[in-house]
């Protein structure tokens, strides 16, 4: 996608290739979350002192064993802690509790409460890209700002060399943004409330945002204009691009700023470089997975061989033990048979010796 470059004198100076961030989708909810996350980091924790209202001698004695002046129960008076600075406890005034003079505050603000809203890094990055893309949408920008030329407004790099505020105002007028500068200047007003006493007396309407490639003279020359913000492309944030959490700010880009965004994209790998890296990554991943599978197969084969050897050795041991057992049982049986034969022979001898007459 290409955009026109405008010269310092307002004439056309060619085209420039826009980065892919200008094509991202508009996400107002995500932008709002990112802006709130930035704003909450600037807040300061507020809370009461831990010992506020407790730095006194007030005491509550709820036992009936003490004499009347030294207890605060069954005395026809409120059962409240009383100060011990006047004769007896009973004559002191009430202290410590919220309803007493000088007592502590009931449920006061606590400094422990979490004020900062967090957002993920990828979400913050996506919100910044969406806010950059919203600067190109005419229907969003024309709600709050006045401009006369096509968006995005890109100036040649000679703009960065200017070091006078007067010349910058003239150039911005030629770029079609002069009416918005006058509008912001006419809307400087006093702030309502106590902010006037705290160094915030004036309220100024937001106007043009100038983005350059490097820290140059034009930044210092334009920072004194009412409502104008000037930053480098590397220090862009969501709050600058979406003041009040509403995207669609009028931005004047220099050619150098666009080139910085393109370089950043190439480093992160959004263009063709990313595809090459992904291919190499996938090939290395495949090689690693193949090697891992081969190793697993080899381990399984080794484990199977060991298991087979164990089973074979166990069977052999069992067979040997069985044969030995058989031999032993055979011997025992032979011995038994021999004993029985001997007994039978003895019985026969005895029968022969007997006389049957």
Q: How confident is the model at residue 225 (pLDDT cuts 50, 70, 90)?
A: very high
Under 8 Å between Cβ of 194 and 215: no
Q: How confident is the model at residue 256 (pLDDT cuts 50, 70, 90)?
A: very high
Specify the pLDDT at position 299: 84
Indicate the pairing of strand 2-6 with strand 12-17. antiparallel
Radius of gyration of the chain (CA): 47
Q: Which of 50, 27, 210, 61 is nearest to 134 (CA)?
A: 27
Judge whether residue 18 has pLDDT over 70.
yes
Specify the pLDDT at position 276: 45
Under 8 Å between Cβ of 255 and 156: yes
Judge whether residue 325 has pLDDT over 80.
no
First to last CA, the chain: 143
Judge whether residue 182 has pLDDT over 50.
yes
Q: What is the mean pLDDT of residues 171-197?
A: 94
Specify the pLDDT at position 298: 85
Whole-number average pLDDT of the chain: 87
Specify the pLDDT at position 273: 42
**Neighbour-count burial for 8-29, b at 16+ CB within 10 Å, e otherwise:** beeeebeebebbebbebeebbe
Question: Strands, E, within the chain: which ranges?
Answer: 2-6, 12-17, 153-155, 189-190, 202-203, 209-212, 229-232, 251-254
Give the Cα separation of 195 and 208 in Å (integer): 25
* Domain covering 2-42+124-268 in this structure, CATH number: 3.40.1370.10
Judge whether residue 286 has pLDDT over 70.
no
Q: What is the mean pLDDT of residues 250-274?
A: 83
3-state secondary structure of 298: helix
3-state secondary structure of 16: strand
Judge whether residue 2 has pLDDT over 80.
yes
Q: How confident is the model at residue 295 (pLDDT cuts 50, 70, 90)?
A: confident
Specify the pLDDT at position 287: 66
Give the Cα separation of 71 and 89 in Å (integer): 7
Q: What is the mean pLDDT of residues 129-156?
A: 94
Which residues, 6+ apart, have CB-to-CB distance to 15 below 8 Å? 2, 3, 4, 5
Q: What is the mean pLDDT of residues 54-78?
A: 87
Query: How much of the chain, in percent, has pLDDT values that exceed 90?
Result: 58
In three state form, how does the secondary structure of 201-223 look? CEECCCCCEEEECCCCHHHHHHC
Specify the pLDDT at position 354: 53
Alpha helices in 249-271 (DSSP H): 255-268
Lowest mean pLDDT among 166-175, 267-276, 312-321: 267-276
Specify the pLDDT at position 312: 77
Judge whether residue 355 has pLDDT over 50.
no
Lowest mean pLDDT among 66-70, 147-151, 207-211, 240-244: 66-70
Specify the pLDDT at position 351: 61
Q: What digits encode the pLDDT tens for the residues 78-117?
A: 899 998 877 777 778 899 999 999 899 999 999 888 899 9
Judge whether residue 148 has pLDDT over 80.
yes
309 against 148, higher pLDDT: 148
Give the Cα separation of 76 and 72 in Å (integer): 9
Query: How much of the chain, in percent, has pLDDT values that exceed 70?
Result: 92
Judge whether residue 228 has pLDDT over 50.
yes
Lowest mean pLDDT among 54-68, 73-87, 155-169, 261-275: 261-275
């Amino acid at each position: 996608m290409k955009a026109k470059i405008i010269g310092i004198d307002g004439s056309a100076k060619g085209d420039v290739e826009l980065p892919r961030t200008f094509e991202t989708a508009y996400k107002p909810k995500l932008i709002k979350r990112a802006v709130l996350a930035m704003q909450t980091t600037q807040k300061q924790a507020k809370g009461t002192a831990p010992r506020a209202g407790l730095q006194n001698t007030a005491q509550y004695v709820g036992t009936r064993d003490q004499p009347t002046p030294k207890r605060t129960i069954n005395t026809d008076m409120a059962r409240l802690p009383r100060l011990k600075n006047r004769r007896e406890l009973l004559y002191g005034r009430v202290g410590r509790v919220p309803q007493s003079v000088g007592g502590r505050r009931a449920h006061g603000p606590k400094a422990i409460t979490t004020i900062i809203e967090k957002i993920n890094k990828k979400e913050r990055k996506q919100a910044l890209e969406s806010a950059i893309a919203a600067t190109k949408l005419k229907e969003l920008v024309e709600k709050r700002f006045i401009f006369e030329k096509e968006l995005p407004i890109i100036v040649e790099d000679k703009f960065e060399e200017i070091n006078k505020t007067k010349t910058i105002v003239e150039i911005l007028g030629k770029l079609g943004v002069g009416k918005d500068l006058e509008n912001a200047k006419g809307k400087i007003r006093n702030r309502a409330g106590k902010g006037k006493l705290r160094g915030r007396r004036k309220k100024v309407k937001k106007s043009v945002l100038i983005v350059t490639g490097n820290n140059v003279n034009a930044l210092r020359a334009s920072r004194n204009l009412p409502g104008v913000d000037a930053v480098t492309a590397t220090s862009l944030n969501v709050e600058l691009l979406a003041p009040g959490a509403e995207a669609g700010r009028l931005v004047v880009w220099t050619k150098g700023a666009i080139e910085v965004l393109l370089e950043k994209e190439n480093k992160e790998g959004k263009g063709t470089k990313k595809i090459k890296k992904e291919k190499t990554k996938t090939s290395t991943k495949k090689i690693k997975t193949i090697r891992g599978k081969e190793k697993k197969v080899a381990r399984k084969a080794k484990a199977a061989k060991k298991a087979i050897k164990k089973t074979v050795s166990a069977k052999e041991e069992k067979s040997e033990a069985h044969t030995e057992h058989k031999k032993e049982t055979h011997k025992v049986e032979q011995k038994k048979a021999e004993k029985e034969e001997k007994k039978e022979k003895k019985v026969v001898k005895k029968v022969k010796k007997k006389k049957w007459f």
